[in-house]
Amino acid sequence: MKRLIVIRHGKSTWELQVRDHDRVLTQRGIDDAHLIGEALKDLNVDPDQIWTSTAARALQTATLVSEYFNYSLSKLELKRELYTFSSDELIHVISNAEDAIETLVIFSHNNGITDLVNDLGSTRFDNVPTTGVVAIDFDSNSWSCLGKGITKFHLFPKLLK
């Protein structure tokens, strides 16, 4: 069995005059990342691998949330390919994961995140909000041949406040 945990980056600012890739989290984004990290810790999430987009807001979110796992930040993998807004591109990246990985956590961007969880999971979401989490289990031994999975849980910051 494979478990994919998809996390959208936290709320970021548009106030700074920087390119999209360099936008950073707002205080709300930081606070929500801690809230989600604590909730995932309470669920005993134990990732084998964590991948993040190289965008500043995704990397910040990944770093903050990962503090709540029994996971060395030195193992955090930055993947430029996760800086995408396409479900198809996300599926392509995920399908190349090593089969030894049972639980994979990825941090990426919308609309790709919402489309991905709707394409692969059993629960439909109109929108995965910033710092939203969706976990999907697959009855498969290989990331390269994922079919439709079962949505096991979702965590959205406003539902935890």
Segments making up each domain of the chain, as ranges: 2-160
Question: 92-98 — which CB contacts under 8 Å span 24+ positions?
Answer: 93/51, 94/4, 94/143, 94/146, 95/143, 95/144, 95/145, 95/146, 96/143, 96/144, 97/49, 97/143, 98/49, 98/143
Which percentage of the chain shows pLDDT scores above 90? 86
Average the pLDDT over each of 29-33, 71-75, 128-132 and give the range with the smallest value: 71-75
* Alpha-carbon dihedral sign for residues 110, 111, 113, 114: positive
Radius of gyration of the chain (CA): 14
CATH 3.50.7.10 fits 2-160, yes or no: no
For residue 102, what are the contacts with CB-CB under 8 A and spacing of at least 6? Answer: 1, 2, 3, 48
Say yes or no to pLDDT of 47 above 90.
yes
Specify the pLDDT at position 110: 95
The predicted pLDDT at position 70 comes to 85
User: Which pTM does this prediction carry?
Assistant: 0.95
Highest mean pLDDT among 18-27, 67-76, 80-89: 80-89
Rounded average pLDDT over 111-125: 97
Region 107-123: mean pLDDT is: 97
What is the rounded average pLDDT of the residues 38-46?
96
- Percent of the chain with pLDDT strictly greater than 70: 99
Q: Rounded to the nearest 5 degrees, what angle is found at the Cα of 86, between the Cα atoms of 105 and 68?
A: 20
Q: Which residues pair with 108 in a beta bridge?
A: 8
Q: What is the mean pLDDT of residues 38-51?
A: 96
